[in-house]
Amino acid sequence: TQLLEQSPQFLSIQEGENLTVYCNSSSVFSSLQWYRQEPGEGPVLLVTVVTGGEVKKLKRLTFQFGDARKDSSLHITAAQPGDTGLYLCAGARGSNYKLTFGKGTLLTVNP
Amino acid sequence: DTAVSQTPKYLVTQMGNDKSIKCEQNLGHDTMYWYKQDSKKFLKIMFSYNNKELIINETVPNRFSPKSPDKAHLNLHINSLELGDSAVYFCASSQGTSSLNEQFFGPGTRLTVL
């Protein structure tokens, strides 16, 4: 059973479009992180959210942590080809510092 | 000035062989990790060391043996390689064990077992 479900699994859009990817679970997480991974490289942290209902913005990226801390979303405004990559959410439960990763959303932004 | 480095980048070997992957970080972190990413991009933690002490040991075959000679290095030795071991292995490091701390990942080692 996958603890963190990400959707969609694949997303191909045109430059300038908006998009949202989701990370859902039936479990409560004490914190949740979003990473972006480019081909041939390791994941790079984008943001960490810890408070239910929290919203964080990073330029054109908006991250939201669900009120119940069971889900999160990543919204990208006016996507650019440089946003292309694999977006991974990762959560930690309780005092456990181990991160559990979702299977990722592979985003392709076409020029 | 690479933060987390891994060698080799690519490793192609035959079933049954023994191989090692090396990881070094120059960030001064005290916690290091090994992750396995399968062909479907699923990233799963294997091991974690804090100050050279093993703190996370997931359900991994005992053919996999991590070794941390010092805080800056975490190596992974794999005995009797199997086809299912083919994957990309990522090393990562963080300052402390809190899940709030950013984990810095290396570029990965793509292991192919023939």
Confidence of residue A1 (pLDDT cuts 50, 70, 90): low
Whole-number Cα distances in Å, A87 to A41, B45, B56, B95: 13, 17, 25, 23
Helix (H, G, I), strand (E, B) or coil at B52: coil
Confidence of residue A93 (pLDDT cuts 50, 70, 90): confident
Average pLDDT over residues B81-92: 97
pLDDT tens digits, A58-87: 999 999 999 999 999 999 999 999 999 999
- What's the CA gap between A43 and B43, in Å, rounded? 10
Tell me if A69 sits within 8 A of A47, measured CB to CB: no
| Chain B residue with the nearest C-alpha to that of A99 | B99
Average pLDDT over residues B37-47: 93
How close does chain A come to B99, measured CA to CA in Å? 4
For residue B37, how many other CB atoms are within 10 A of its CB? 22
| Chain B residue with the nearest C-alpha to that of A39 | B107
> Among partner residues A40, A97, A103, which is closest to B98 by beta-carbon distance?
A97
Looking at beta carbons, which residues of chain A come within 8 Å of B99?
A: 30-31, 92, 96-99
**Phi and psi dihedrals of B91, rounded to 5?**
-100, 150
Looking at beta carbons, which residues of chain A come within 8 Å of B48?
A: 98
